[in-house]
Amino acid sequence: MQLKAPEPFTFEGGDRAVLLLHGFTGNTADVRMLGRFLEEKGYSSHAPLYKGHGSAPPEELMNSTPEDWWKSVLEGYQLLKKKGYEKIAVIGISLGGVFSLKLATEVPLAGVVPMCAPMGFKNKETLPKMVRAYAKQYKELEGKTEEQITSDLSAFQDNSMPAVEGLKRLVSDVSTQLHKITVPTCIVQGRLDDVIDMESPQIIYNGIKTANKEIKWYENSGHIITLEDERNRVEEDVFQFLDQLNWENVEQTIPPLQETKSTADMVVIFKRCRALL
């Protein structure tokens, strides 16, 4: 059985553009409904798909790095710039939230919305457990037997996977650069998040250097807040934040980036594994 993931998407709804960034072990389905909502509100958006994510075999995810994923983020930003969008904000969930903060330290943005963005994790097992859950689900959808799956998962028992270690370094690095963020920031956090260190929202709030900042808590939501019961409220709050930004005085800068081949066209849906945590 060939597995296919949601592809990178671009919705064109207006001259204000938003870069949408998905989470670790996730894919563009994390932010697709938010993108459609914003399109109806007159916003354009683009969501890249990171290397090792989507329909990629878990072995590829395990050996991919934050540098691979960051390249996809920059490609997404550049795509919007090349389409002529001069006014760009960025919204990211989980790993995407960390990347949204990183992008805000490096390029001009209208605003930034980190959602459930970790500045630390619940415990040392959190990330390896996410990778193993992704791997198990992938093997099941391949149609493998329980015996085959158990055998395959033995390769994922070492907690020091390149992807996991790289993500922890990324989070640490970004946490030291928060002082460079001076654009309006809306920090979105689910109270039931069982993935991140729950001090993370306050660490971000305290670290960024802008007067226009807030933390919005959602009492009945977990980690992938864009797919949970309070998602409609999240969408509306995000829209209200975006709508009050100053979209007229954003500098025009494109980060240097070599041309790369676009991600192959793929369709269908890869189920989420967060519930297995």
pLDDT (tens digit per residue) in 148-204: 888 888 888 776 688 899 999 999 999 999 999 999 999 999 999 999 999 999 999
Q: Using the predicted structure, report yes or no on whether residue 1 has a pLDDT greater than 70.
A: no
| Cα Rg, the chain, nearest whole Å | 18
pLDDT at 255: 47
Superfamily name with CATH number, domain 9-276:
Alpha/Beta hydrolase fold, catalytic domain (3.40.50.1820)
Phi, psi of 205 (to 5 degrees): -60, -45
**Exposure string for 193-228, b = 16+ CB within 10 A, e = fewer:** bebbbeebbebbeebbeeeebeebebeebbbbbbbb
List the catalytic residues.
94, 193, 223
Tracing tokens 């270690």 back to the chain, one arrives at 165
Q: Using the predicted structure, report yes or no on whether residue 53 has a pLDDT greater than 50.
A: yes
Tell which wins on pLDDT, 264 or 33: 33
pLDDT at 198: 97
Question: For residue 141, what pLDDT band results from cuts at 50, 70 and 90?
Answer: confident
Please state, in angstroms and rounded to a whole number, the distance separating the CA atoms of residues 162 and 102.
20
Under a CB-based contact definition with an 8 Å cutoff, are residues 136 and 276 in contact? yes
pLDDT digits (tens, 9 = 90+) for 226-268: 999 999 999 999 999 999 999 986 554 444 444 443 333 333 3
pLDDT at 249: 63
* Mean pLDDT lowest among 9-18, 20-29, 246-255: 246-255
Question: Closest Cα to residue 237, out of 182, 189, 183, 205?
Answer: 189
* Mean pLDDT lowest among 66-80, 101-115, 180-194, 251-265: 251-265
Q: Using the predicted structure, report yes or no on whether residue 5 has a pLDDT greater than 90.
A: no
* Residue 253 CA from chain centroid, whole number: 22
